[in-house]
Structure 1
């Protein structure tokens, strides 16, 4: 299929990619680049300089080959020792800090580059901008600065509609008794700045909803004012069709539901993040080939079609997809080898087959076949690593217990905590916290037994101590949403019917591909049941986007409209304010994860008509990272 002229879907990630491509082309419109391609003009060669946060923004969605396509021949960190490249311009993509401004002036004073195009990831404060101009004038480098832009790209796109502000420790800072009002105020201001970048990239002016009396309310007020000021002071802001319905921005504090941050995962993407500790779409996997173990680093990029199609599917279905893709690859490769007369696809080469028109066409398929094989090898290695961890830690059994947690009794919990063969200390602690948050009543004597069992398993009790303090708040939110929680008609039995035969087929396929040893791994996996679980956040989103499904909990949510003249909020979501929304931006203050994102995506795709949900958080954390953060709150 020729995809060159296919218009990309207008997702948040694609919007950010287009903004970055424009940045790499000196903020020229992308249509000008197409004209340049048509006239066969060579791109203007440039140097790209970034700081660490901005390198993460770029590397998550663009590869080195993408940079070269846009004329970037060299890319370096602004703090690295760099040699002069005096005949090319430099693009600086950095945060607006005094240190970065001083480094830019130093580079220009030393004649490192011909000129500078300065792109700040977010708004540069006026005082710092004035200092920047003064430094440029005093160093006689002002004529070398061609552009200064506020790019509003201060966030990382992890998936098509999933973003992170890369602001760690927000949950612990907000909820720690030792945090000062000044620290909380500064943190909320930074969060508002990052979220503002997302809204500008999306080109939307949303209605804002949030619960009262929380960090979400503080953020809503700051963001509301920031949007109002921007709308008044920026010409042609939000140029999208004014008749298009505005989205709702739902701001939530992580205490609304802690369970998604603790749950053992069942979908491919969530498992990869939780088990293999994926960060910025990059993972490291131990691979064994011919008895030799090595470490492979993989980027799960937006252009990985298998990842795009399977990331939110239950892991057993991903195994089926691998089997299907291997069958297609084998058939296509056999077709080429049969026509060329060679024994394997690796033996096909253009030099020996130049006299055959058909064979030339067959050889032209080699790059595609090679890319497909590399993609399948990567996902087979990832599946191998996941299966091994699932079996070693009996994660399927933890998942099964958590799926039916309301029917798990004290004896079962205690037996799990004391079983030295089941899971790690972290797995046990996660399970107990989930059970504790769902239990109606837990006598003090029972908690003493649980805590003693945790100590024997060498678990830290600090996360449990914090959860004890906020248990009633979290349980109140979860119970208030229970009536609206969606359920799936799909059962685990239906999904896992024939799992043994699938395992056998996969073992054969992996052996054909040169990856062995799976027969012993797959045989131990049995209970990874992907039935949808009740989800508080999804219930809240449903209540705020569908007027007929409002729940008592969200009736009290505050209402902000940055477009209104007064800019004031209304404390009650009264009947005449109920309205439906086809698009929602859900933002979690204090940590988010792929499990929650996947649940919202599933729910949105099942609505008629389908809804668009953009999900983000201050930081994306694994369960281990979240437990560590809970342990620091004193």
Structure 2
């Protein structure tokens, strides 16, 4: 261990050799399958000693079963280390679940898994919270009864349907981030060592400083990173004429290599993002999305959506997404043009699974369900604030819309509707400020996009 040499093996691997000279550290989720694998391992131990760590609470009956299997007394330690979730960023976690719902209801297995993950989160943070959840959501009520803190936001469906323009959010939407890894194998002309890269704020200073900046700023900062790299490069390749030169080179070379890898990685990622933005005409698509989010000009919105539906560079998914936004915004407009837009999607050859999403999204997040106004036009004060922020380079036309999570929910309320405590769903609404929340943990049923944590970045 002192030399940082490790052997990683899976408990379910059938071809492991006995290595009695080694000690084993087992880290696993306390599932029935994992406990059974561990029982089989302890009956025929391949290592001298076992240190067992579970990522969540393990039942007494499972501990008893493990003790009975440990006939050779090789287990030295059993502990619970609450890490049954993925730390995406320092202030963002994920349970890595796909398909947690069956329509508007929980999948039973996923409900249990979500409960376990949120319980582990709260135990790891050592917080005993006050539970709040969305009043109109039966699934969140069920979840709130099982865990210590739940704030889900079904009414924020709209926030999942826009093109994102900050670095991390763009990478996640256009390239995909899985456990901080990005698959670049499909990038044209990609080199072998860049087919998969890691983006982690913990060990990548450039990424940590730029993950919440918009795309235009990223381009400028990439240029500065390249220039800094070029300035350092000649110094690292100078002749080694003395022992002192060699010593300095050895001391600086690891940092130089790290910087070289950082430059190559981010230049490749940003280059691919730029290619996809141009290929899919995302600048124009995003401008219309923001118009749908922040304006109430129905005639202009309908005309712009129709124009983009006729553009062959706009992908099927982006076309369907534009129609979804229109359907949500102008759901009850007297001149609603949704039937015509659906016909245009069909004539264009958009896949049936995308067309069905339009009606599904209205059923799931329409006005009848969400109970709050997502599309209220900006008044003069809001426009002035927007302009002042724009002067500081914070926002532009492509990032006008702000996630609902940045609003009143920080004071313990969801926008426009009560956020009750469990067991008191029908209690009268409490006066503002009745509860003072110093720490807030939010769980979004079904997942969150990478732009939603931005308003909370730097806060608590």
TM-score range, shorter chain: 0.7 to 0.9
Runs of at least 5 residues in structure 2 that lack an aligned partner in the other structure: none
Match of 1:414 among 291, 306, 310: 306
Match of 1:192 among 112, 115, 119: 115
- Deviation, 1:400, is 1.0
Please give the alpha-carbon distance, in whole angstroms, between the structure 2 residues aligned to 1:165 and 1:481: 33
Post-superposition Cα deviations, 1:466-496, rounded to whole Å, max 9, x if no partner, equal: 1232312455323499899986436779859
Q: Does 1:357 align with 2:234?
A: no
Please give the alpha-carbon distance, in whole angstroms, between the structure 2 residues aligned to 1:481 and 1:133: 61
Query: Structure 1 pair 294/446, CA: closer, same or farther in 2 (3 Å)?
Result: farther
Match of 1:489 among 383, 387, 397: 387
Q: Does 1:272 align with 2:171?
A: yes
Counterpart for residue 14 of structure 1? none
Counterpart for residue 621 of structure 1? none
SS at 1:594's partner residue?
Answer: coil
- Deviation, 1:418, is 2.5
Query: Structure 1 pair 300/368, CA: closer, same or farther in 2 (3 Å)?
Result: same
Counterpart for residue 82 of structure 1? 16
Please give the alpha-carbon distance, in whole angstroms, between the structure 2 residues aligned to 1:552 and 1:277: 30
Query: Structure 1 pair 474/391, CA: closer, same or farther in 2 (3 Å)?
Result: farther
Post-superposition Cα deviations, 1:187-212, rounded to whole Å, max 9, x if no partner, equal: 43332221111111112222222122
Residues 39 and 65 in structure 2, CA contact (< 8 A), matched pair in contact too? no
* Matches for 1:161-172 after TM superposition, within 5 Å: 161-170=91-100, 172=101
Q: Does 1:117 align with 2:51?
A: yes
Please give the alpha-carbon distance, in whole angstroms, between the structure 1 residues aligned to 2:55 and 2:337: 52
Post-superposition Cα deviations, 1:369-424, rounded to whole Å, max 9, x if no partner, equal: 12111101110000110000000001111111111113342222122223223x21
Query: Structure 1 pair 415/309, CA: closer, same or farther in 2 (3 Å)?
Result: same
Please give the alpha-carbon distance, in whole angstroms, between the structure 1 residues aligned to 2:287 and 2:113: 39
Counterpart for residue 578 of structure 1? 434
- Deviation, 1:310, is 0.4
Counterpart for residue 537 of structure 1? 405
Query: Structure 1 pair 429/187, CA: closer, same or farther in 2 (3 Å)?
Result: same
Please give the alpha-carbon distance, in whole angstroms, between the structure 1 residues aligned to 2:58 and 2:80: 7
Query: Structure 1 pair 425/493, CA: closer, same or farther in 2 (3 Å)?
Result: farther
Counterpart for residue 158 of structure 2? 259
Compare 469-478 and 203-212 and name the one that shifted more. Answer: 469-478
- Deviation, 1:175, is 0.9
Q: Does 1:451 align with 2:380?
A: no
Please give the alpha-carbon distance, in whole angstroms, between the structure 2 residues aligned to 1:391 and 1:551: 37
Counterpart for residue 261 of structure 2? 374
Counterpart for residue 183 of structure 2? 284
> What's the TM-score once normalised by structure 2's chain length?
0.86
> What's the TM-score once normalised by structure 1's chain length?
0.64
Residues 140 and 150 in structure 2, CA contact (< 8 A), matched pair in contact too? no
SS at 2:151's partner residue?
Answer: strand
* Matches for 1:47-58 after TM superposition, within 5 Å: none
Residues 210 and 250 in structure 1, CA contact (< 8 A), matched pair in contact too? yes
Please give the alpha-carbon distance, in whole angstroms, between the structure 2 residues aligned to 1:477 and 1:192: 27
Normalized per residue, the structure richer in helix is 1
**Number of aligned pairs?**
444
Match of 1:320 among 220, 223, 227: 220
Residues 87 and 113 in structure 1, CA contact (< 8 A), matched pair in contact too? yes
For the aligned residue pairs, the C-alpha RMSD in angstroms reads 3.2
Q: Does 1:222 align with 2:146?
A: yes
